């Protein structure tokens, strides 16, 4: 019997080929929290009727449905390729040494056309010990965040927009990849303009610019959220005031290459599990200031920008997964 609490909860996803047509979820994740939910607008009559003091039960109707919410996970060395694909859009897959190290795969993600959508199923266990499936159709990633800090495990979170929620789709049995490992701050390193840079914390946030208001006569459901604005990738580095180099980049508007690397155990030969974020960034602040006797901090806010030499942002995911 399942444990009658969140200890028996599960979360799985699968890629849809047709927007809003659910498929059986096949990829399951350990996760920290989820907030996926259905909201239904109530449309109430505003008309006056003699002697009526309160809303009548025959003068309201259900309106548009809104499905969405956040999912937060800890970054692992397997299975995250599918999430990265739906976070950014474009992906190329390759084996860096197919002959000598055939189990090593590298999936590189960059901003591109977002995939159609995802089916996301959450199993929520009631106090009677029954895990109830809540299935979300037509989910697209509206925004996302990757963050890491000293003393913590790296985290990935995504805000999803969905078409509908149902509780009739059967609960898929959860299965997890074997021998997974988490990426912690110990596995991480960061470089700026080709040189190592000490950081205490890192965050990268994205907004995919999706239109969430695509409702039309004849349906309660949102049509597929389409890109309606430019994407934005912004972030912050938590660092100490090392010298004037970072400050001068802020003042002069000098762009720089930023590379955040998490490496794990060896897969084969010289190849290790890895998640590597590479970006061309502009720094938007700030001047270091003194707040007391402690070491002076210098938070560095940045924005990813495209340039003539390459894309604004890529995520390389080295793993044993043959597909994202």
> pLDDT per residue over 136-189, tens digit each?
999 999 999 999 999 999 999 999 999 999 999 999 999 999 999 999 989 999
User: Tokens at residue 127, please?
Assistant: 């106090």
List Cα–Cα distances, 6 to 25, 135, 191, in angstroms. 19, 17, 39
Q: Where are the domains of the chain?
A: 6-42+63-319
CA within 13 Å, CB half, 225: 26
Task: Point out the residues of the chain with pLDDT beneath 50.
Answer: none
Q: Which residue has the tokens 């999706």?
A: 210
| Residue 61 near residue 288 (C-beta atoms within 8 A) | no
- Res 308: pLDDT: 72
Q: Would you state the pLDDT for residue 81?
A: 98
Residue 123 and residue 146 in contact, taking contact as beta carbons nearer than 8 Å = no
- The dihedral region occupied by 253, where left means phi > 0, alpha psi between -120 and 50, and beta the remainder, is left
């Amino acid at each position: 019997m399942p444990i009658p609490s969140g200890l028996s909860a599960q979360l799985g996803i699968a890629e849809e080929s047709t927007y809003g047509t659910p498929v059986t979820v096949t990829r399951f994740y350990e996760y920290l929290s989820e907030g996926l939910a259905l909201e239904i607008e109530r449309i109430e009559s505003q008309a006056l009727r003699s002697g009526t003091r309160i809303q009548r039960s025959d003068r309201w109707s259900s309106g548009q449905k809104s499905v969405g919410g956040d999912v937060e996970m800890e970054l692992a060395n397997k299975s995250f390729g599918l999430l990265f694909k739906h976070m950014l859009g474009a992906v190329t897959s390759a084996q860096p040494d197919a002959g000598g190290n055939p189990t090593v795969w590298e999936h590189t993600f960059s901003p591109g056309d977002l995939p159609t959508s995802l089916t996301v199923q959450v199993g929520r266990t009631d106090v009677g010990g029954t895990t109830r499936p809540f299935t979300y159709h037509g989910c697209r990633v509206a925004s996302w965040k990757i963050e890491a800090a000293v003393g913590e495990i790296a985290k990935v979170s995504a805000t999803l927009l969905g078409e509908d929620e149902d509780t009739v789709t059967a609960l898929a049995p959860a299965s997890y990849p074997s021998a997974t490992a988490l990426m912690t701050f110990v596995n991480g390193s960061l470089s700026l303009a080709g040189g190592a840079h000490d950081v205490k914390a890192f965050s990268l946030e994205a907004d995919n610019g999706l239109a969430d208001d695509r409702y039309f006569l004849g349906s309660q459901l949102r049509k597929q959220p389409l890109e309606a604005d430019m994407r934005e990738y912004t972030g912050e580095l938590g660092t100490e005031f090392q010298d004037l180099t970072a400050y001068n980049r802020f003042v002069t508007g000098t762009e720089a290459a930023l590379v955040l690397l998490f490496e794990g155990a060896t897969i084969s030969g010289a190849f290790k599990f890895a998640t590597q974020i590479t970006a061309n960034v502009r720094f938007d602040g700030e001047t270091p200031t003194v707040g007391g006797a402690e070491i002076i901090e210098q938070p560095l806010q940045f924005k990813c920008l495209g340039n003539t030499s390459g894309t604004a942002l890529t995520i390389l995911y080295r793993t044993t997964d043959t597909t994202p």
